[in-house]
Amino acid sequence: MRSFVVVKSRTIKIVLAMLAVIVLLTVSFGGVQLAEVFFGYSTRKVPIYSVQTDKKQVAISFDAAWGADKTASIVEILKEYGVNATFFLVGFWVDEHEDEVRMISESGIEIGTHSENHPDMAKLDSETIKSELVTSTEKIEKITGKKVELFRAPFGSYNDTLLTQAEELGLMTIQWDVDTLDWKGLSATEMCSRVMDRVKNGSIILMHNNSDNILDGLKLILQRLKAQGYEITSIGELVYKENFEIDRNGVQHSLA
């Protein structure tokens, strides 16, 4: 009888301990749940930072929020090197530069939204997020006649609410894994070094349309990438559109 009581007591303790662990793993500290640390996976939604692929293929992207003086030259350079790219446009930039939006689209270059007003969207409620996305995509689609399928969050700031709302609107949220830091005024050589030190199959490269040395930097980057055998595409040509998963590091994997 005493043996039965001891065994039963141990069983109860084990069950209670397991319940305690389960509760702890649901606790969040600083926005990170303990389950992420314990099991090594993310319980939060994650945008696409890069793509897992055996192809030697990368995508170049340009965020456009302020200024447009160099946009036409960027498009000409892309044509000269026979490569594609993706532009992420802010709504108020679209308002001021309709001709450039039309020119980008007619050149066959992909366009995504970068929000309407360039706020930190992780600080917005769901309805405001929806307004930012719907307003900006409608402006782009009205000018280009093409559906907007990609979204990049201003400052790269995101949370589950933002990613869920974007997904519900049919938008794939895109980050980057290679940052040129062109907005800091880096030289063409410095930009290129940053890219070549970090680039790999499936990388998404971040640039801006009006940074100081963007034109020389872009030429040098394209030359070096091509010399190493990389195919340079738009993000839409790089990512998987269906049957995929995104791991905790933001790497998109095909499930096909």
Per DSSP, 48 falls in state B
Instruction: Report whether pLDDT(2) > 70.
Output: no
Give yes or no: residues 57 and 35 share one domain.
no
Q: Please tell me whether residues 73 and 11 are part of one structural domain.
A: no
| Residue 155 resides in a domain | yes
Segments in 26-64 forming alpha helices (H): 34-39
**Worst-scoring range by mean pLDDT, 34-38, 117-121, 202-206, 213-217?**
34-38
Same domain, 150 and 182: yes
What is residue 75's three-state secondary structure? Answer: helix
Decide: 166 and 130 in contact? Cβ < 8 Å: no
72 shares its domain with 152: yes
Helices and strands in the chain: count of H runs, count of E runs: 10, 13
In a domain? residue 124: yes
Residue range 93-111, pLDDT digits in tens:
999 999 999 999 999 999 9
Verify that 104 and 151 share a domain, yes or no.
yes
**Distance from CA of residue 150 to its chain's centroid?**
9
pLDDT score of 39: 46
Whether residue 27 is found in the same domain as residue 96: no
The CA-atom distances, in angstroms, between 179 and each of 49, 125, 132, 199, 208 are 11, 28, 25, 10, 10
- Asked whether residue 17 falls in the same domain as residue 108, the answer is no
Do 137 and 218 sit in the same domain of this protein? Answer: yes
Could you list the residue range(s) of the whole structural domain that residue 240 is in? Answer: 50-254
Query: What CATH number does the domain containing 129 carry?
Result: 3.20.20.370
Q: How far apart are CA 136 and CA 148, in angstroms?
A: 10
The average pLDDT across 8-28 equals: 52
* Residues 131, 105 contacting (CB under 8 angstroms): no
For residue 44, what pLDDT is reported? 83
3-state secondary structure of 18: helix
Calculate the dihedral angle through the C-alpha atoms of 138, 142, 148, 151, rounding to the nearest 10 degrees: -50
Instruction: Let me know whether 64 and 13 are in one domain.
Output: no
H-helix or E-strand spanning residue 64:
strand 57-64
Q: Residue 70 and residue 181: Cα distance in Å, rounded? A: 17
What kind and span of H or E run contains 246?
strand 244-246
**How buried is 215 (Cβ within 10 angstroms: 0-12 exposed, 13-18 middle, 19+ buried)?**
middle
Mean pLDDT computed over 222-243 = 98
Question: Do 136 and 80 have their domain in common?
Answer: yes
In a domain, 171, yes or no: yes
Instruction: Report pTM.
Output: 0.84
Q: Is residue 45 part of a domain?
A: no
Specify if 100 maps to a domain. yes
Are 149 and 31 in the same domain?
no
- Within a domain: 228: yes
In a domain, 188, yes or no: yes
Q: How many domains does the chain have?
A: 2
CA 81 to chain centre: 24
111 occurs within a structural domain: yes
Structure confidence at residue 9 (pLDDT): 60
CA 183, 186, 192, 198 dihedral sign is: negative
Specify whether 11 is located in the same domain as 60: no
Mean of the pLDDT values across residues 194-202?
98
- Res 124: pLDDT: 98
pLDDT of 41 higher than 60: no
